[in-house]
């Protein structure tokens, strides 16, 4: 950090007591150093945190990376319900079947 932005003094006071409730939750989750870095990076922004990217990543994992795992193993690993896992897996099966049908149509059109 440059001299004009030196925040080392903050380690000598209890910053948490001055934080709004939502910031206290973040501070507790990521710790003092990470909170300071985050504050410096986004202090002038209104930030909304959503779980949507994690949900999409879980879906991607189920669709593309879970081969050889049982539904129960996937549920435990990703903290998802079996119903959700089976729904995603059934969508994968439908998409695979549709792609297989398209492959057959392309082969027919090319005369192969």
Q: What are the pLDDT digits (tens) for 41-65?
A: 998 898 888 999 999 999 999 999 8
pLDDT mean across residues, the chain: 85
| pTM more than 0.75 | no
pLDDT tens, position by position, 63-103: 998 889 999 999 999 999 999 999 998 887 776 666 666 67
CB 27 within 8 A of CB 19: yes
Alpha-carbon span 31 to 52, nearest angstrom: 23
Cβ-in-10-Å burial (0-12, 13-18, 19+) of 92 comes to middle
């Amino acid at each position: 950090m440059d001299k004009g932005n030196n925040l080392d003094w903050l380690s000598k006071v209890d910053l948490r007591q001055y934080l709004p409730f939502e910031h206290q939750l973040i501070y507790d989750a990521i710790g003092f150093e990470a909170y300071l870095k985050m504050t410096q990076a986004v202090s002038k922004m209104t930030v909304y945190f959503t779980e949507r990217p994690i949900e999409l990543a879980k879906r991607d994992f189920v669709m593309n990376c879970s081969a050889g795992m049982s539904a129960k193993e996937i549920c435990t690993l990703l903290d998802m319900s079996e119903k959700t896992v089976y729904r995603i897996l059934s969508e994968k099966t439908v998409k695979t079947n549709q792609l297989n049908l398209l492959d057959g149509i392309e082969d027919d059109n090319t005369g192969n």
